[in-house]
A = this chain, B = another copy of it.
Amino acid sequence: MRRACHLSRSLIRASRSLPEEALGAASALLPDAGHVLSVAEARCREDRQQQHSEYASVSQPHLAVTQGWNLLHRNQPVDPFSLVKEEIESVSERLRRSIFTGIPTLRSAAEYFFKMGAEGKRLRPTMLLLMASSLSAYVPSPDFLTVDDRPPNEHPSEERRRQQRIAEITEMIHVASLLHDDVIDNAEVRRGLRALNSVFGNKIAILAGDFLLARASVSLAALRNSDVIQLLSQVIEDLVTGEILQISSTDEDLLSLDYYVRKTFHKTASLMANSAKAVAILGGQSVEVSELAWQYGRHLGLAFQFVDDVLDFTGSTLQLGKPALNDLHSGLATAPVLFAVEEHPQLRAMILRKFKSEGDVELAQQLVFDSNGIQRARDLAAEHASLAAQAVQSMPPAVTEHAMLCRQALTDIAARVLTRKK
């Protein structure tokens, strides 16, 4: 609850840091916004003892702020995903075209997770295009909503096109790492589909991952910006380091939350952090602002993963698109378990033997539910979501109303990550 209130407060601060004239206009249209925020603060205090309910209290004031903006701009609730939906469709289509290869097997494999309906949440490209707009002095021209049909190795000179390429490259790197991880973990299901390795075999899955990395490198090179190339190359290294940290940990590492957070940064947050920074750099932002974009991506990535850890316990296979309790079955002790072990020391031996003894998974699940592990993992996620929101708030004032709206959407994404169900 403490963390959730922290987040609420930071969202409230966000609304307070808005330019006075915008706030005035919002108040005129939505005179109760300030009241809703105060009520939310009070509710936060009241709710301190109430477990498992913070997400509602977080989202209420937040929605109020969002709706204030919506009333100001559109008279309907803002969905951060809908704000860039059309552009995301065009980036997705370009992505499908840019991984074209004349070799049928490779094409089928590479396309597998980019086909319509199999693209996942597209959180990363959405976040990146919102970041681009939130730092821009212009509303993107409709020209940039069409599919950019130039080949991957052709240099795009237009700022927005370059930023779209980062969204595309980021998805390619992300999917490449999923493909290799799934081979390594012998995964059978991903995004509600059979994992690529279980359809095409390990060989093709390894090569399709390599191909996506290679195509990403070619696209990246075409941007001709060394800092950006270096940031995204570092991501690939971080993804590998994260996976290695996961599979080669000592007993001490397995029980360490710090080690777990470090691994999570490498496996999940580095891609979001570095790609967000790349978008800021391509938008001509200063070192300081680019660093705030990095911080936003980092905290969003960490929040995202800690919620993922919780969902592995609380979600169903159908909801998740992958087996529930997948982490325990794979031998992984994630945040909820690492918190729970403080209350139930008998988890220690199970963590070290990677839940491989008969009945381990069920007992570990029970002990986690019979502890504050889930709650503390949620708190940790909420803390990072709040820090993500703070990074956006620390940016210099937005230049256009559209940019303000996009910043609000970035804050909203951080809150939505907490309440997601899959």
Contact = CB atoms under 8 A, between A and B. Distances in A.
A244 B206 CA distance: 10
A122 to B, nearest CB: 24
Given A106-B248, A233-B220, A210 B153 contact: no
A240 B106 contact: yes
B207 A244 contact: yes
Please provide the 8 A-B residue pairs with the shortest distance between their CB atoms, ordered closest to farther. A214-B237, A217-B233, A214-B236, A105-B248, A221-B229, A224-B226, A221-B230, A211-B240
Interface string A223-250: 0101001100110110111011101100
A226 B236 contact: no
A103 B184 contact: no
B244 A103 contact: yes
Given A103-B241, A103-B248, A105-B248, A226 B217 contact: no
A120 B190 CA distance: 40
Contacts of A153: 230, 234
Interface of A: 101, 103-106, 153, 155, 180, 183-184, 202-204, 206-207, 210-211, 213-215, 217-218, 220-222, 224, 226, 229-230, 233-234, 236-237, 239-241, 243-245, 247-248
A247 B207 CA distance: 10
A25 to B, nearest CB: 45
A229 B206 CA distance: 23
Given A184-B207, A210-B236, A218 B230 contact: yes
Given A218-B233, A222-B226, A233-B217, A210 B101 contact: no
A101 B217 CA distance: 22
A215 to B, nearest CB: 6
A254 to B, nearest CB: 14
A152 to B, nearest CB: 10
B203 A247 contact: yes
A214 B240 contact: yes
A106 B244 contact: yes
A207 B177 CA distance: 10
Contacts of A202: 183-184, 202
A380 to B, nearest CB: 24
A156 to B, nearest CB: 13
30 contacts: A101-B241, A103-B241, A103-B245, A104-B248, A106-B241, A153-B234, A180-B206, A183-B206, A184-B206, A184-B207, A204-B247, A206-B206, A207-B240, A210-B213, A210-B240, A211-B237, A211-B244, A213-B213, A214-B234, A215-B237, A217-B236, A217-B237, A218-B230, A218-B234, A221-B226, A221-B229, A221-B233, A222-B226, A222-B230, A224-B226
